[in-house]
Amino acid sequence: MACVGRRLLYLSAFLWMIALMSPLVTPAFAEINGNCSATFKGVSVAGLSSTSAGDAIDVDDNEQVVVSFTSPVGFTSHDVDLEIAGISRNIDSDEDGGDTEWSSTVNVNDYAWLGAGLYKVTGTATLSDGTTCSGAALINVTRNPLTTVVGGIAAAGTAAGVAGVGVSSVVSARNGVRGGRNVEDWIVNEIEKVDSPSAGTPPPDALSEEQAWIETADLFFSPLVGRIPCSILILPALLFTGASMAMPQGSAPAPKGLRLRRVGWLPRFTVAGVLGGLLAGVGIVVLLQQFGVTPLTGTMAIVGIVGGLLAGILIPSLIHLWSVMHINSAISSGEQRLGAALAKSGPGGAPPPAGTES
């Protein structure tokens, strides 16, 4: 059953990767449909793809660009739209009265004044015979994105998001280091008690108190990096797949059957990590659009949100997994030393420390 469950986790992780990567694969095709031809800034769009940044037509942010359509059948009406992130805005609509050609002027600064980068322009027309024709092209507004409103906000949001994920990860790593040190201090103290019975018996539940600190140490930091209850969030199987491969599977038994309790692992959900991941994911896809790397489509926006959310959970959780493994390694090492000390003390030595298992 465990083997079947692990295979299902691997399969779900693979499907998640396919779902996330598929929007990035876009075929090139002729962006003209119907009995017409279209040009944008004098460039025919028949051989261009409106999903490929390499086919984008460069325009200045203050430029006025002409979109024109021709058809031997003639046009009755047309519409021109500007699209970004799957949202379209009509920039021209008119009746043509059977003319075989129509043109529309796009004032780039009217629609792209907030930012730079790639925008999709589409033209749709109704022909005199009742059919329709359409064409689409990418334009690349050439200006420094970091000097624009959208570009500046995206850069700041990305930096803040990366910092949030980093803070959540650093806190988890620090908890692991501190937890390992505290386990070591506790083990040394218990060995000293075994070697010097006159020092008295250990306090009740000493190890469980120590492990309680290890388990909840991150709750003592600010709410920005505290743990969010797992019951209100759902972690995709991708995370559990990585965890199942990395979690320790136990250690060699200590002398006399001494077994100290290990620290359990749970995914790390934090406000800083989740919000930071979302900010970074959205910021990155916006910057890709602003710098003319790839158009910001609706699917790309979803990839940014989902990918950022996963990163904001996965990265701190993997660091937290390292912390748990580090602490458990310290417990395993101390378990061997403490067991050896108890064996050396003999049947008449000090009693086993509290918090152990036979």
Q: What is the DSSP string of 221-248?
A: S-TTTSBPPGGG----HHHHHHHHHHS-
Spatial CB neighbours of 142, under 8 Å, sequence gap ≥ 6: 58, 59, 60, 61, 116, 292
| Bridge partner list, 75 | 127
Task: Please answer whether residues 281 and 158 qualify as being in contact, where contact means their C-beta atoms are separated by less than 8 angstroms.
Answer: no
Instruction: Check residue 347 and give its pLDDT.
Output: 57
Of 143, 177, 208, which residue is a domain's last? 143
Residue identified by tokens 């036979």 is 358
170 shares a domain with 79: no
Segment (H or E) for 303: helix 298-345
Q: How far is CA 52 from CA 47, 48, 136, 184, in A?
A: 12, 8, 12, 57
Residue 211 lies in a domain: yes
Q: Is 203 exposed, middle or buried (0-12, 13-18, 19+ CB in 10 A)?
A: exposed
Of 81, 111, 143, which residue is a domain's last? 143
Q: How far apart are CA 132 and CA 159, in angstroms?
A: 46
| Bridge partner list, 356 | 260
127 shares a domain with 56: yes
257 shares a domain with 129: no
Q: How far apart are CA 82 and CA 12, in angstroms?
A: 37
Along the 358 residues of the chain, how does pLDDT read in single tens digits? 444 444 444 444 444 444 444 444 443 344 788 899 999 888 888 888 888 889 999 998 888 888 899 999 999 999 998 888 778 888 888 998 889 998 888 888 877 777 889 988 888 999 999 999 988 889 899 888 988 889 999 999 999 999 999 999 999 899 889 988 888 888 888 888 887 765 444 443 444 444 443 443 333 333 333 433 333 223 233 233 333 333 334 434 444 457 888 888 888 889 999 999 999 999 999 999 999 999 988 889 999 999 999 999 999 999 999 999 999 999 888 888 888 888 887 654 445 554 454 3
Of 143, 175, 210, which residue is a domain's last? 143
Residue 8 lies in a domain: no
124 shares a domain with 233: no
Q: How far apart are CA 328 and CA 316, in angstroms?
A: 18
CA distance from start to end of the chain: 28
Residue 13 lies in a domain: no
184 shares a domain with 108: no
212 shares a domain with 296: yes
Residue 72 lies in a domain: yes
For residue 116, which of 288, 308, 298, 263 has the smallest C-alpha distance? 288
Number of domains in the chain: 2
Q: Residue 197 carries which side chain, given as an amino acid letter?
A: P
225 shares a domain with 205: yes
Residue 21 lies in a domain: no
Task: Please answer whether residues 133 and 69 qualify as being in contact, where contact means their C-beta atoms are separated by less than 8 angstroms.
Answer: yes
Cα–chain-centroid distance for residue 181? Answer: 32
Query: Domain range holding 283?
Result: 149-357
Question: Phi, psi at residue 282, to the nearest 5°?
Answer: -65, -40
137 shares a domain with 195: no
Instruction: Check residue 75 and give its pLDDT.
Output: 93
Residue identified by tokens 């009693």 is 351
CATH of the domain at 54: 2.70.50.50
The DSSP 8-state label assigned to residue 21 in this structure reads: H
Instruction: Check residue 88 and give its pLDDT.
Output: 85
According to DSSP, the β-strands at 32-33 and 64-70 are unpaired
Residue 255 lies in a domain: yes
Instruction: Check residue 346 and give its pLDDT.
Output: 63
327 shares a domain with 186: yes
Residue 20 lies in a domain: no
Q: Residue 316 carries which side chain, given as an amino acid letter?
A: P
For residue 300, which of 277, 141, 308 has the smallest C-alpha distance? 308
For residue 141, which of 72, 82, 80, 202 has the smallest C-alpha distance? 82
For residue 138, which of 84, 66, 63, 62 has the smallest C-alpha distance? 84
153 shares a domain with 135: no
Q: How far apart are CA 152 and CA 150, in angstroms?
A: 6
130 shares a domain with 54: yes
Residue 116 lies in a domain: yes
223 shares a domain with 208: yes
Rg (CA), the chain: 31
